[in-house]
């Protein structure tokens, strides 16, 4: 399998976030780039799951907020 060389980007972190990343980098023996890449991959995978779930439910009938509250009340959930 051929790997594509990593692309470089400049990202600006809030000071506290950068400090937390540096500390986690040291504790996990992973670079900040590895940590950020992992976090971005996880966020993108979650987005993909959300899109899939949305698409699977696209044909379901819509109900109003008021109707949803009524159903929850009738079910004893609120």
Mean pLDDT, residues 43-65 = 94
Domain boundaries along the sequence of the chain? 15-74
* Residue 31 to residue 20: CA distance in whole angstroms: 12
The region that residue 76 occupies, defined by phi over 0 for left and psi between -120 and 50 for alpha, beta otherwise, is left
* Residue 27 to residue 57: CA distance in whole angstroms: 42
DSSP SS3 for 40: helix
pLDDT of residue 3: 81
**Is the pLDDT reported for residue 58 higher than 70?**
yes
- Banded model confidence at residue 4, pLDDT cuts 50, 70, 90: confident
Tens-digit pLDDT profile for residues 5-22: 899 999 999 999 999 999
Four-point Cα dihedral 32, 35, 36, 38, nearest 10: 160
């Amino acid at each position: 399998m051929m790997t594509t060389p990593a692309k470089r980007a400049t990202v600006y972190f809030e000071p506290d976030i950068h400090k937390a990343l540096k500390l986690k980098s040291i504790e996990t023996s992973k670079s900040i780039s590895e940590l950020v890449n992992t976090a971005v991959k996880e966020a993108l995978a979650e987005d993909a799951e959300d899109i899939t779930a949305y698409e699977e439910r696209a044909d379901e009938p819509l109900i109003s907020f008021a109707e949803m509250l009524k159903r929850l009340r009738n079910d004893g959930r609120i």
